[in-house]
Amino acid sequence: MSDSKKIAVIGGGSWATALIKILSNNVDSLNWYMRNETAVDHILKYRHNPNYLQSVEIDLNKINVSIDLAEVVRPVDIVIIASPSAFLVNLFENCPPELFNEKIVFSSVKGIIPEYNAIPARFIHKTFRIPYDRIGIICGPCHAEEVALERLSYLTVACQDEELAEEMAEILACRYIKTTISDDLIGTEISAVLKNVYSIASGICSGLGYGDNFQAVLISNAIQETENLIDEMSPIHRDVKSSAYLGDLLVTAYSKFSRNRTFGYMIGKGYSVKSAQLEMDMIAEGFYAAKSLMEIKKKFQVEMPIVEAVNNILYEKISPVIEMRILTDRLN
């Protein structure tokens, strides 16, 4: 792929920066779109993203950074979207669908599109009229902060077209990144959405003083909920004990780098939702996902008590102490 395909990354956050670092190991040139003009100017002058992963040096001999979306997307074959899901509708609001004609699009968006209760693959399919076999997902378990430190990490590339998945997996693989492939586009995306909600639950429980014993029960129930929903939504063979599902859930629920867990911990410690969001100054994808997942679970008639508990705390303003006490009686 590196010899024949041109690649663009869309997004200015930590994961977009991490992807730029990873991809620059194996490609000679990259296009990078960021909306933040001040950040672009800083990168062009100092070769570092001023807001995220500042230790990552941007090789401007390989990487073209621009605030012009058309300039970034038009000449490439593959687009990787790595912007928070809450911003996608606004990001592409004035983008003509024709700009993505004949493109292959990989999503590295770890959330749900709140305006449509849609996973990124469906949003991309509907917005740009791209067939599903030309849409893929890049998922964990992998934190951007550890990529910046070049700690060994694993990525799963899922696409209905196995050849495209293999090609993207090959280009992402490097000294500190190992890759695997999957054909489970829907399941891996929904799992990536759910793990953010479960990590908020994990953080809330930690903030309330629940210990490791309960956390183990919480997360084992979370992977059961995940399996129940994705099997209803996309009934194909999958092993939810593999790293794309269980591994991604574990690292998000337990890691000190997890924004969703941090957000939940603050809620458990008594912060209001609004004050926690202001204090973090970062997007916790699980906040938006919890509400959307309530609609999805109703549609597919799946019992999901952990998702319900998080939604009740975040949107119904039920006390975390009370809601988690109720939840303890619903887990096994």
Which of 158, 183, 208 is the last residue before a domain boundary? 183
Q: Are residues 164 and 201 in the same domain?
A: no
Q: Is 235 helix (H, G, I), strand (E, B) or coil?
A: coil
- 38 dihedral zone (left: phi>0; alpha: psi -120 to 50; beta): alpha
Residue 91 within any structural domain of the chain: yes
- Taking only the tens place, the pLDDT of each residue in 284-300 is 899 999 999 999 999 99
Q: Are residues 173 and 205 in the same domain?
A: no
Residue 281 within any structural domain of the chain: yes
Q: Are residues 13 and 156 in the same domain?
A: yes
Which of 136, 156, 183 is the last residue before a domain boundary? 183
Q: Are residues 160 and 269 in the same domain?
A: no
* H or E element at residue 215: helix 212-233
Which of 119, 148, 183 is the last residue before a domain boundary? 183
User: Angle 120-128/185-208 helices, nearest 10 degrees?
Assistant: 140
Residue 285 CA: distances (Å) to CA of 109, 192, 226, 267 = 9, 10, 17, 15
What is the C-alpha separation between 225 and 236, in angstroms, rounded? 16
Q: Are residues 178 and 30 in the same domain?
A: yes
What is the C-alpha separation between 90 and 77, in angstroms, rounded? 23
Q: Are residues 29 and 129 in the same domain?
A: yes
Distance of CA 215 to the CA centre of its chain: 22
Report the number of distinct structural domains present in the chain: 2
Q: Are residues 252 and 212 in the same domain?
A: yes
Give me the average pLDDT of each 10-residue run along the chain (332 residues): 76 96 93 97 97 95 96 97 92 94 94 90 95 95 94 96 96 97 94 96 98 97 97 94 94 92 97 91 87 94 97 97 97 94
User: What's the token pair of residue 120?
Assistant: 């990124």
Q: Are residues 148 and 48 in the same domain?
A: yes
**What range defines the domain where residue 161 resides?**
7-183
In this prediction, residue 4 carries a pLDDT of 61
Residue 177 within any structural domain of the chain: yes
Give all strands of the β-sheet with 135-139 in edge-to-edge order. 63-66, 30-33, 7-10, 78-81, 104-107, 135-139, 153-159, 177-182
DSSP string, 272-287: -HHHHHHHH-S--HHH
HSE of 306, CA atoms in CB hemisphere, 13 A: 30
Q: Write down the mean pLDDT value for the chain.
A: 94
In this prediction, residue 2 carries a pLDDT of 42
What is the C-alpha separation between 54 and 18, in angstroms, rounded? 11
Q: Is 59 helix (H, G, I), strand (E, B) or coil?
A: coil
Residue 302 within any structural domain of the chain: yes
